[in-house]
Amino acid sequence: MIKTFDLISNSDVTIRKALASFVQKDRVYKNNYLQANYKKAFDGYSFIGQKDSLNQYDTDMLHSFVLSDFQEVEHFPKEFHPFLKNEWKPLIKRIKALELASIKKLNNSILEQLYKDDVIGYMMSCNYYPKPLKYSAFAKNNTRLSAHKDVSLFTTFPFGIANGLSFFNEEKNRVAVGEKNTIIQFSGYFLEFVSQHKIKALEHQVNLPKDLNTERYSFAIFSIPKPNISFWLGNKKIESNNYYKKYLSLF
């Protein structure tokens, strides 16, 4: 399930500047913000070659930082504070409206109840792919980011998409998305989980570019169950952290 909204994407100027500034900091500074130092959901920094990242393989060629509304703004690096204080809430409000519109079309009362019960929270994966020339020898299956399904109910790209993203259709053929300047949304594993596998999560990857001197930025917002809560799916009680573990067992 992938959907292109006929909506102009938001500007990524502030968040792109924040991510670029953070990535340029020294290793000691960045290591203060590793996922292991947050220990809540998927928040924090992951780097190229890292063995214990929750959201990328050690062969993937990107630096990523996961922001969320599960932490106070001050817990994140100062580089991200202007975006989080001024742009985060209006952006999430827009994304949530799009998600609710998608859910209404699915006509699924369980999904609607998740929003009514305030189960769903939001995180954003901020991704910087450096020029892959010096890393290309380590590429796995000609990718910058390995094929995977997202942890989310929905994954939304509010700033559009740069070239490189592709997904696998029902026939297991890879389809290139291409560059998009509109908002893109697709289904994640939580939607597959809630629908009892009737709606499949979109398996996708980021391919190596033809020009190995090409940088790439990507910003994706994930709607996921809030950490450390319990919720009901019909008559079944679910612990959000157990759902995270189930998702991570896919890898």
- Identify the pLDDT of residue 133: 81
pLDDT higher than threshold 80 for residue 249: yes
Of 83, 20, 23, 105, nearest to 221 (Cα)? 83
Domain residues of the chain, as ranges?
2-248
Mean pLDDT of 108-113: 92
Q: Which of 61-75, 149-163, 171-185 has the lowest mean pLDDT?
A: 171-185
- Identify the pLDDT of residue 1: 64
Asked if 146 contacts 205 with a C-beta cutoff of 8 angstroms, the reply is: yes
Q: CATH class for domain 2-248?
A: mainly beta
The tally of CA atoms less than 13 A away on the side-chain side of residue 49 is: 5
pLDDT higher than threshold 70 for residue 247: yes
The pLDDT confidence band at residue 18, using thresholds 50, 70 and 90, is: very high
**Tokens 């990107």, located at residue:** 62
User: If you compute the radius of gyration of the chain from its CA atoms, what whole number of angstroms results?
Assistant: 17
Sign of the C-alpha dihedral computed for residues 187, 64, 128 and 183 taken in this order: positive
Mean pLDDT of 97-111: 92
Cα 251 to Cα 247: distance, rounded to the nearest angstrom: 8
Q: What is the pLDDT of residues 176-233, one digit of tens each?
A: 999 999 999 999 999 999 999 999 999 999 999 999 999 999 999 999 999 999 999 9
Of 83, 80, 86, nearest to 45 (Cα)? 80
Mean pLDDT of 227-245: 95
